[in-house]
Structure 1
Amino acid sequence: MVCNASLRNIVVQAGRIGVFSKGRVQLRNLRWGWDAILGAQFPLSRKFRAIKAMMVDTGATAERGTIVNVLPEKENMEDNGCASGGWRSEDGRLSCGYSSFRGKRASMEDFFDVKMSKIDGQAVSMFGIFDGHGGSRAAEFLKEHLFENLLKHPKFMTDTKLAISETYQRTDMDFLDAESNTYRDDGSTASTAVLVGNHLYVANVGDSRAVISKAGQAIPLSEDHKPNRSDERKRIESAGGVVMWAGTWRVGGVLAMSRAFGNRLLKQFVVAEPEIQEQEIGDEFECLVLASDGLWDVVPNEDAISLAQAEEEPQAAARRLTETAYTRGSADNITCIVVRFNHDKAE
């Protein structure tokens, strides 16, 4: 393992850093200040409030099976400060592995989640990567609530795409409400994969990423939300925001991603509305890689799939990806989940 002895006793999913952290710069030497960027304090948009009103629990939810939290209550922390583990479905057709490492950061702001359930006779599997910035609270909140909120959505089985979109935005509002009396302004990405039977829904907010292997080829299932993306820049500027260069392209010269959970002070521009891609999983699909940008900053999509495919077990694949990102110089927290589709295996 590449982690050295000085990284012992690192606790995964713990610790906070100051307001200015990954994805942020101080505005002291910039022309634009908060007043120039925001003009005034913006309330949550009418669109978000409308979504919250629509999502009142009607009691019409499908019959839910038991939600199984695949991750142990306490992560399998090793002496080198890395956490990893794996899981396999009862019929052997689906397996996953995860690996999470603080890396060169002073604190850990990555969280991840894996949950299983059975609804109306169909197996439901959920995988998520949540990469916090400005603190760990937003990412932790997503781990605790996002998938549970999704399974409670009355249209989860009948219109899964709509349910995911509304749940993302509702959970964002819930987090902002929960933090309304604090001075924190945490934010987080979310890259999630929801498998209902053989139908895969990948939703993304921020710059974590999902890539799937199809007949050995790497196919991205998400596109990073960066402020200089032409459509994202147009959306931000149409809402009255600015995109400017401050070491990298940033919303208001502050945030290096254009969509995120939390980030109350930029909420008018930095939305939590996900982009969702759908995929029917057939025999030609081999594995799925979800990871925070600590991996993608230094490991291209094609390399990630090649490295994952080289390992028989997904847990070993996830560990190898984490190690590779670290040895290639990643300066961030590194967390990844590898999901393998074992089409030819059944108990």
Structure 2
Amino acid sequence: MVCSYNIRNVIAQAGHIGIINRRIQINNIWRSLPSNLGFVHTWKREYRISLMMMVDTGASENRRPIVDKHPEKDEDGGYTSGGWKSEDGRLSWGYSSFRGKRATMEDFFDIKMSKVDGQTVCLFGIFDGHGGSRAAEFLKDHLFENLMKHPKFLTDTKLAISETYQQTDAEFLNSEKDTLRDDGSTASTALLVGNHLYVANVGDSRTIISKGGEAIPLSEDHKPNRTDERRRIENAGGVVMWAGTWRVGGVLAMSRAFGNKMLKQFVVADPDIQDLEVDKDIELLVVASDGLWDVVRNEDAVLVAGKEDEPEAAARKLTEAAFTRGSADNITCIVVKFHHENAGPAADTRENN
């Protein structure tokens, strides 16, 4: 069996901005292999695909990210993972993403830490595409940028989130108006402003927290058979049908999503939003696509993630657990850990080989 490795390292510096972009690509021969060979499960080497870290120490733009991760789509079926810790040491996060048994990768995610009008904010998002990857990629590129530009981002954050979700949905639909594609995507996002946490959800990705060791969901999956969702769809003139599972119009297995222009009258992008103060009893947060939640219970996710000191290791363990338990979907998760007792200096980001 022949494979080739194309390793590209680019290090660019401009003023105070440093960008490190490391990418490993495996020859297309791997993608052409039948999935039943099971090589992904036995191939233990971890591949980092487009891990980008940007650190900006300039203060000329109040809304410019000081930590910004924009990983590209994982085209080769391997793991991509990484992690970071805040300067004061009170917050650390890690991510892991895996194409799994699917032929294509339609999960995307975005992680940002930024200063907005002197206030430190952290943003974490999972975007699970369906019918293609364009909607999920559009959200990764635009949703948080739009949110941080909203004039009431800090003064009325829930309103800003709601309006930004709908604005970004409209922008994506407009960008696709002359195409025959009908991509859609979920969005589950967690926004931390100081000690205040806002969780917004559209679709069937999910966010949970661990509080005192107990798993508490902060979002409820938007499924067509939910009583309130079914009523909303039918009141709008739609229908919920059984086609292997409950589907809007017999087509879409979720009741809210970005995109999906053919079903837009019924499949809205209005987010459910919850907010709470992060107190000393909240240990961690998990945001993940349904490739995880299809086979991993909330309680199990908290148990697995809580056993790992580093959130990157926790995210990887969760991804591996979902795959081992038979998830047939793309699997992507973000784990955020709160270190309430820690106010030390920021730790270096390290990559595992």
Q: Could you say which TM-score interval applies, normalised by the shorter chain?
A: 0.7 to 0.9
Aligned to 1:241, the other structure's residue is in SS state coil
Tell me whether 1:210 sits opposite 2:248 in the alignment: no
Q: CA deviation at 1:70?
A: 3.2
Which is bigger in relative contact order (C-alpha 8 A, separation at least 6)?
1
Contact 2:100 2:323 in 1 (8 A): yes
Distance across 2 between alignment mates of 1:9 and 1:95: 22
Distance across 2 between alignment mates of 1:325 and 1:12: 23
Distance across 1 between alignment mates of 2:152 and 2:295: 39
Alpha carbons of structure 1 residues 79 and 311: separation in structure 2 relative to 1, 3 Å: farther
Aligned to 1:287, the other structure's residue is in SS state strand
The residue that corresponds to 1:301 in the other structure is: 298
Distance across 1 between alignment mates of 2:113 and 2:242: 42
Tell me whether 1:193 sits opposite 2:231 in the alignment: no
Identity of aligned residues (%): 72
The residue that corresponds to 2:55 in the other structure is: none
Distance across 1 between alignment mates of 2:312 and 2:217: 21
Pick aligned residue for 2:140 from 125, 140, 143: 143
Q: CA deviation at 1:10?
A: 10
The residue that corresponds to 1:335 in the other structure is: 332
Output aligned runs, 1:152-301, within 5 Å: 152-301=149-298
Contact 1:7 1:80 in 2 (8 A): no
TM-score by length of 2: 0.80
Distance across 2 between alignment mates of 1:73 and 1:138: 16
Q: Deviations over 1:54-92 (max 9, x none)?
A: xxxxxxxxx8342134326668x8997110000100111
Distance across 1 between alignment mates of 2:203 and 2:222: 5
Aligned to 2:69, the other structure's residue is in SS state coil
What are structure 1's unaligned runs of at least 5 residues?
A: 14-62
The residue that corresponds to 1:66 in the other structure is: 64
Distance across 2 between alignment mates of 1:331 and 1:7: 21
Contact 1:2 1:327 in 2 (8 A): no
Pick aligned residue for 1:4 from 39, 42, 52: 42
Q: Which amino acid aligns with 1:67?
A: P
Distance across 2 between alignment mates of 1:83 and 1:6: 12
Q: Which amino acid aligns with 2:315?
A: A
What are structure 2's unaligned runs of at least 5 residues?
A: 1-38, 52-60, 345-353
Q: CA deviation at 1:6?
A: 11
Contact 2:222 2:254 in 1 (8 A): yes
The residue that corresponds to 1:322 in the other structure is: 319
Distance across 1 between alignment mates of 2:68 and 2:93: 10
- The CA RMSD measured in Å over matched residues stands at 2.3
Q: Deviations over 1:33-52 (max 9, x none)?
A: xxxxxxxxxxxxxxxxxxxx
